[in-house]
Amino acid sequence: MRREDVVGAANCIACWCSLRSVENLSPNIADLFVLFGGGVIGSVDVLADAMRQDVAKEYAIVGGRGHATYWLDQSMQGELARWGASATSAEVSLPGIASEAEMMQAVLWHRHGLRVDFLETKSTNCGNNITYLMDLLEVRGSVPTRIVLAQDATMQRRMDVTWKRQARDREIFSQTKIIDWALWEVPLVVRDGILQYERAPEGMWPIDAYLGLLAGEVDRLTDSERGYGPRGRDFVVHVDVPDEVRQAHALLEAYMGSNVRPPDERYA
């Protein structure tokens, strides 16, 4: 299979997944800005930029330990080495133990001198990222009118449709306006016969892991028995998958073989 075809398929799926509701983040567009945890440590810098721009009234980081935490743990080892003596004894033990939210909060403080208003530290996947966030908002008595959901670009569409599905069962959130903000665009290219990122944030997934996540994401969002939609596990609202994305998925799935990340059995 031509590497150029693989790159074209991956970029097609990534573009479809990376929802953005607005062209740019601007001051006071939301009541709450939520960064969802993951493996890419560079997402903390996007959050810091949003905080400096006063994008929202409040800020939160959501994420326990899940399939992507391994990569964040690896990045944190280098981060702690840079902090040196300024790291506390608690922070030194963060990798392998702490939640994604706690690690990202520590990075936010050491790099930017900023802290968010609250953390969610128990969720393990996109589904309970949303449900546990809703639980916290209900307990706090602060239901946002407008909320920015910011996630790894490969999972942004899923965060959007997961919120919409869960809001159906929680009338209190039915009028909340969602502003999607995929954290970055990460196009692939072929250089010297090798698949590479044209540009990527700090701590970005290894290429094979990224391709496996992309290929699996189409399965998760397809409304079928094996997907997360109403005809499957009923965890997201129905999603129309464009023909070009289906074709790209078939090509990428054939290329990846058994390395495609399957739907999470915890949704069964």
Same-domain status, 165 and 193: no
How many independent structural domains does the chain possess? 2
DSSP element (H, E) containing 240? none
Q: What is the mean pLDDT of the chain?
A: 92
Q: Judge contact between 202 and 40, C-beta under 8 A.
A: yes
- Confidence class of residue 267 from pLDDT cuts 50, 70 and 90? very low
Whole-number Å distance between alpha carbons of 205 and 136: 29
Same-domain status, 62 and 170: yes
Whole-number Å distance between alpha carbons of 188 and 197: 5
Same-domain status, 159 and 213: no
Q: 201-229, pLDDT tens digit by residue?
A: 999 999 999 999 999 999 999 999 889 99
The CATH number linked to 141 is: 3.40.50.620
- Domain end call among 182, 204, 221: 182
Q: Torsion over CA of 146, 27, 184 and 222, rounded to 10 degrees?
A: 20
Q: Judge contact between 261 and 212, C-beta under 8 A.
A: yes
Same-domain status, 198 and 130: no
Q: Which whole number is the average pLDDT over 3-31?
A: 96
Is pLDDT above 90 for 89? no
Q: Judge contact between 34 and 60, C-beta under 8 A.
A: yes
Same-domain status, 147 and 263: no
The DSSP annotation for 171-226 comes to GGGTTPEEEEEES----EEEETTEEEESS--TTPPPHHHHHHHHHHHHHHHS-STT
Smallest CA-to-CA distance from 135 within 170, 165, 103 is with 170
- Domain end call among 182, 210, 226: 182
Q: Domain span at residue 11?
A: 3-15+186-267
Q: What is the DSSP letter of 54?
A: T
- Confidence class of residue 156 from pLDDT cuts 50, 70 and 90? very high
Same-domain status, 53 and 156: yes
